[in-house]
Homo-oligomer: A and B are copies of this chain.
């Protein structure tokens, strides 16, 4: 038994556990102890056991954890066994790369439509999806009922499109826009990516603390 809401820190570690366990499984591991997993991941055994105990008792005293079963549990917790329909807005460089590079299926989603406003891009094929005119977004959503949206549109268009998408039933936003998406509705999930911020922190680390007073 544990507290009934999961902290952000824990949630952010779950996909990483899932990945490491997948690799262990691929390398033939059947069982693993929290101590050994901690070593491989650069965490402490305590933290790993605390994290897992938010969701249940997945191990066995004296034995450890079954790699495959544990991975299955974490996948289920993350909802990776679901297939939530998702659309992508903005098929520029980044949008096209996300559409073709990301394995949506293994992350709990399925990309079902790609939309853009530019005449040069509409009609192009990305994987097996043809880029549609954004003017057709409403009717598409009423039919396909996507629940997620990837935003790769220009910053200026973001706020307006988000309003519209919420009206069309979108519940999860994966936002690559240079715009900090913050939504009040409690039932809408947002993940802001901000690759530029990520690169800026790397710049800091290249010469850390030289400005500390």
Chain A positions within 8 Å of B, measured between CB atoms, are: 1-6, 11-12, 14-16, 18-20, 41-42, 54-56, 76-80, 82, 84, 92-94, 96-98, 100-104, 106-109, 147-148, 171-174, 178, 180, 182, 189, 191, 193-209, 211-213
Contact = CB atoms under 8 A, between A and B. Distances in A.
A12 to B, nearest CB: 6
A94 B79 CA distance: 25
Contact of A79 (B18, B189, B204): B204
Question: How many copies of this chain?
Answer: 2
B107 A182 contact: no
A211 B19 contact: no
16 contacts: A1-B213, A6-B209, A15-B197, A16-B180, A19-B196, A41-B180, A56-B213, A76-B211, A84-B206, A102-B196, A148-B206, A174-B199, A189-B205, A189-B208, A191-B202, A193-B198
| Secondary structure call for the A interface | mixed
A205 B2 contact: no
A42 B182 contact: yes
A54 B212 contact: yes
A106 B178 CA distance: 13
B101 A212 contact: no
Given A3-B212, A6-B208, A93-B100, 14 more contacts: A4-B212, A12-B197, A12-B201, A41-B180, A79-B203, A92-B101, A93-B97, A94-B97, A94-B101, A96-B97, A107-B203, A148-B206, A172-B205, A191-B202
A4 B148 CA distance: 43
Residue picked from A3, A97, A98, A200, most chain B C-beta under 10 Å? A200
Contacts of A189: 202, 205-206, 208
A102 B211 contact: no
A196 B103 contact: yes
Residue picked from A107, A194, A203, most chain B C-beta under 10 Å? A203
A80 B170 CA distance: 36
